[in-house]
């Protein structure tokens, strides 16, 4: 198929295939608790919302202090589209930031950006309190603080049903253990990209938690403390987002340009791939049958993480036909020599 034909038809069929990753539609919407609707309270909450958004988009706690954001810090209104109050509980100021002007300001400041296409987390959360031990399940009222915390930190969170069979799996031993096999097996039906295991405890009115995060074969872990369950959930989600962000956030102007080839393309997959590669400034170079080649700006590790969200598999170098490699090398005088190949 000619390139012009591919694009003309593709634009008419611009939808995504079902995949584990989720596109967060509320990524630029921030809610911050308020004690009243006074002007001073609103000003403080607006500043806090800006800090939350910058951290959500970069994964860097120091990013908001970047000198390039000084004008935004002094006047956040220039990137705010609207705001209002949410009765809650808790009562909060809802600030809707404009995605285009926000991203432009962060890029001009030279900050890394994590796009709206993010890995879906399946959260196994066990609470130990004076009332006993319970696994948090989807639909339970105790799940609401977890959902609010995940939204606040820009994470797509899914929860298990916490039925009897899952309660037998979601034990303290499995959640704190380094072997994810029992949890992964029970998590398969939920189709998530990453697995989060949290064991939270209440002691003398204070809450603490140990957490583990599995993304593929890689594991992260940490701990958190807070005065209540809602604050603990926020602390855990913040830590998790900061561990995930470096895998996906792209810093303008410093990443490596390279050619990316994807095999097994169809029109629906073209739309999905476009969403995945948007943070990497992808430029379409060629289409040959079911193969498509982009010039992208990003590290190999970030591209592998991002494409993994759509279950693409990397093609090992030894499986690339010698003739194809030689042909590309012969005509690659004006294009980057580094190249990654993936297939559906």
Q: Which domains does the chain have, with CATH numbers?
A: 3-18+252-343 (no CATH), 28-108 (no CATH), 117-247 (3.40.50)
Return the ∠ at Cα 79 (arms to 77 and 84), rounded to 5°: 60
Determine the Cα–Cα distance for residues 181 and 327; give it in Å rounded to an integer.
Answer: 44
- What does the pLDDT read at residue 323? 46
Min mean pLDDT across 245-249, 297-301, 323-327 is at: 323-327
For the segment 81-108, the average pLDDT, to the nearest whole number, is: 93
For the segment 132-150, the average pLDDT, to the nearest whole number, is: 96
Q: Which helix (H) or strand (E) covers residue 258, if one does?
A: strand 257-263
pTM across the whole model: 0.80
Cβ 91 vs Cβ 85: under 8 Å: yes
Task: Identify the three-state secondary structure at position 159.
Answer: coil
Q: What share of the chain is helix, strand, coil (3-state, %, to 5)?
A: 40, 30, 30
Among candidate residues 172, 191, 331, the one with its CA nearest the CA of residue 182 = 172
Measure Cα distances from 177 to 97, 219, 328 in Å. Answer: 40, 12, 47
Res. 88 pLDDT band, cuts 50 70 90: confident
Among candidate residues 142, 134, 243, the one with its CA nearest the CA of residue 194 = 243
- What does the pLDDT read at residue 258? 85
State pLDDT tens for residues 241-294: 999 999 888 877 655 788 999 999 998 888 888 888 887 888 898 888 899 999
| Location of structure tokens 């994807």 | 262
pLDDT at 337 exceeding the cut of 60: no
- What does the pLDDT read at residue 253? 61
- What does the pLDDT read at residue 234? 98
What is the Cα 152 distance to its own chain's centre?
A: 12
Backbone angles phi, psi at 48, to 5 degrees: -65, -40
Cis-peptide, bond into residue 89, ω within 30° of zero: yes
Q: Which helix (H) or strand (E) covers residue 226, if one does?
A: strand 218-226
Task: Identify the three-state secondary structure at position 288.
Answer: strand
293 - beta bridge partners? 261, 286
For the segment 201-205, the average pLDDT, to the nearest whole number, is: 93
What DSSP designation does 193 have?
A: S
Res. 13 pLDDT band, cuts 50 70 90: very low
């Amino acid at each position: 198929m000619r390139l012009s034909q591919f694009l003309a038809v593709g634009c008419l069929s611009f939808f995504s295939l079902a995949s584990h990753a989720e596109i967060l539609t509320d990524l630029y919407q921030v809610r911050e608790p308020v004690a009243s609707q006074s002007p001073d309270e609103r000003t403080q909450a607006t500043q806090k919302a800006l800090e939350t958004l910058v951290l959500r988009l970069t994964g860097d706690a120091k990013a908001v202090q970047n000198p390039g954001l000084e004008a935004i810090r002094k006047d956040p209104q220039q990137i705010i589209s609207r705001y209002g109050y949410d009765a809650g509980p808790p009562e909060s100021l809802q600030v809707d930031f404009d995605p285009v002007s926000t991203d432009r300001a962060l890029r001009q400041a030279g900050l890394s950006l994590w796009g709206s296409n993010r890995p879906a987390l399946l959260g196994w959360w066990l609470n130990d309190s004076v009332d006993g031990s319970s696994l948090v399940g989807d639909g339970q009222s105790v799940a609401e603080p977890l959902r609010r915390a995940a939204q606040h930190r820009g994470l797509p969170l899914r929860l298990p049903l916490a039925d009897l069979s899952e309660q037998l799996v979601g034990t303290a031993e499995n959640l704190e253990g380094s072997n994810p096999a029992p949890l992964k097996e029970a998590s398969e039906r939920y189709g998530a990209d990453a697995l989060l295991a949290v064991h939270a405890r209440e002691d003398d009115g204070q809450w603490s938690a140990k957490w583990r995060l599995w993304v593929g074969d890689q594991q992260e872990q940490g701990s958190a403390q807070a005065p209540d369950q809602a604050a603990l959930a926020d602390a855990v989600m913040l830590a998790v987002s900061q561990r995930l962000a470096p895998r996906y956030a792209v810093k303008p102007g410093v990443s490596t340009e390279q050619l990316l080839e994807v095999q097994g393309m169809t029109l629906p997959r073209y739309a999905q791939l476009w969403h995945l590669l948007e943070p990497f400034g992808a430029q379409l170079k060629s289409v040959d049958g079911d193969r498509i080649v982009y010039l992208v700006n990003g590290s190999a590790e970030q591209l592998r993480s991002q494409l993994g969200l759509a279950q693409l598999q990397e093609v090992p170098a030894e499986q690339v036909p010698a003739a194809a490699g030689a042909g590309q090398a012969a005509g690659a005088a004006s294009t980057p020599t580094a190249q990654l190949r993936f297939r559906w």
